[in-house]
Structure 1
């Protein structure tokens, strides 16, 4: 069986679970994972009988037919050009979070040049709700000389994040803790120059619009908030930032696309300044940046 025949089989057996375009994307990801080559490289190189047998023997179809996300099936995901180990204890990194990271990097480069951390040798960054560590690890890789800390309430997530820091050869400090704990104190060396978070923000009403494979397999602890307090994590993080950001420091959020105005107003009420709401590539209100007044 060649790759084209395998793809036909995948489309037939996964029909009704995924759209045709999704099936093709999943198949391409699996091919690259198993063979080490992307489709373009394979078209030039060809695929050996051994590779075909190896691909078939993994039994990926059985797991995919249960709705298990392909990233959990192969145990890894790509994020900002880096590889991350993932498992059901952590969210699968999303493209919109890559956009948030890009904004943090751009802002840090500009602000560092202008004196974001003039009295320090290293920029101090705090990632709240770190999960797989994709934000923390990427920032540590891309912002030279940064000192990055990641926080998560889940011990399993912390272990996954530590593994990903090692995998990507960066030094990140990961701490288990709950941002809803009012007595949380984490930086013995002073305040943070940047705080970034992609906290839980999906309301119960929005569950009906979500793909079943997300609901069945990804950690609800990292996804959902109660209807009564949809901004509970944003409020807690903002309060933490008020006491733990340096003067002029930056706070970044990934947000619920339906709660942009409410999140901005909450930050205004807490006296944050320079509040910017940014859309993602799909035109959805997805990110906020603000700063702590001097």
Structure 2
């Protein structure tokens, strides 16, 4: 069996994903275990020498477990971040949110807070990409914060991580230039519309909100943001595409200016920005 034969066979077995996505996952898994680039694997591949861990991990992949959890890391903004099942997997939409913050805040020494930090990918990236930023990240999960702290140490980023339940506590931080959050926003009733590898494996604490109050985090963070942000400070949210209009109206009623909905590269309304004056 050649390398191509194995890839094609495993793509067929990995039928819970579209074939193009399955091919990417299979190649990613093989590269991780064999320590070779794809072009080298085609030349030097020997099926009889496959490590046992590779077969075990492929079985996990067939059950729908995200490959980032299997490998223990995932890419974000050109860097590798540790991920565990205590954290959400960093996604492309969040990279776009980070890029927007960097583009719109080119000054030196921005003071930034990320609420619901998870892996720490947002504040760590902002610290590394911006000039002399003073960055904070908070999360209700202490286990998630442990992952975030390891990521910051590995990537040589200085981020102050805090344990805080934003729904009941008020961070002891003020005069922020930037307040950013990718909070839980999927109503419980929409679980059936989501891919099983998200619902079955990613932390529900970071995903879902009550059907009777789906904007709870946007409302609370928006309200607390008025005392956290300095005059002219900017609020950045990743949002549920189905709720863009409602979130925009909510922030306008709270007194924010220049409330703007932004579409991602797929044309979906996934980000919103606002200014506190």
Please classify the TM superposition score into its range, dividing by the shorter chain length. over 0.9
Which residue of structure 1 aligns with residue 59 of structure 2?
62
Aligned pairs (5 A) from 1:31-70: 31-40=30-39, 42=41, 46-47=43-44, 49=46, 53-54=50-51, 57=54, 59-70=56-67
Structure 2 Cα separation of the partners of residues 37 and 13 of structure 1: 23
Q: Which residue of 2 aligns with 1:159?
A: 146
Alpha-carbon deviation of 1:254?
0.3
Q: Is 2:156 the counterpart of 1:172?
A: no
User: Do the aligned partners of residues 57 and 266 (structure 1) sit closer, same or farther apart at CA in structure 2, a change above 3 Å counting?
Assistant: closer
Any unmatched runs of 5+ in structure 2? none
Instruction: Note if contact 2:30-2:54 (Cα within 8 Å) is conserved in structure 1.
Output: no
Question: RMSD of the TM alignment (CA)?
Answer: 1.9
Q: 2:271 aligned with 1:284, yes or no?
A: no
Contact 2:3 / 2:41 at 8 angstroms: preserved in 1? no
Report matched runs for 1:181-260 at 5 Å: 181=168, 183-187=169-173, 190-260=174-244
Q: Any idea what the Cα deviations from partners look like across 1:18-59, whole Å, max 9, x if unmatched?
A: 22111101012223323444434656xx33549952376452
Structure 1 residue 2: deviation in Å?
A: 3.6
1:51-200 to 2 correspondences below 5 Å:
53-54=50-51, 57=54, 59-109=56-106, 112=107, 122-181=109-168, 183-187=169-173, 190-200=174-184
Q: How many residue pairs end up in the alignment?
A: 277
Aligned to 1:117: none
TM-score by length of 1: 0.89
1:30 aligns to what?
A: 29
Distance in 1, Cα, partners of 2:82 & 2:95: 16
Distance 1:229 1:85, change over 3 A: same
Contact conserved, 1:35 with 1:51, CA < 8 A, in 2?
no
Unaligned runs of 5+ in 1: 113-120
2 CA distance for matches of 1:194 and 1:28? 39
Given that 1:131 and 1:157 are in contact with CA atoms closer than 8 Å, whether structure 2 keeps it comes out as yes
**Cα 1:292–1:36, aligned 2, differ >3 Å: closer, same or farther?**
farther
The Cα shift of 1:63 comes to 1.0
Moved more, 1-10 or 96-105: 1-10
Residues of 2 paired with 1:180 and 1:57: CA distance? 42
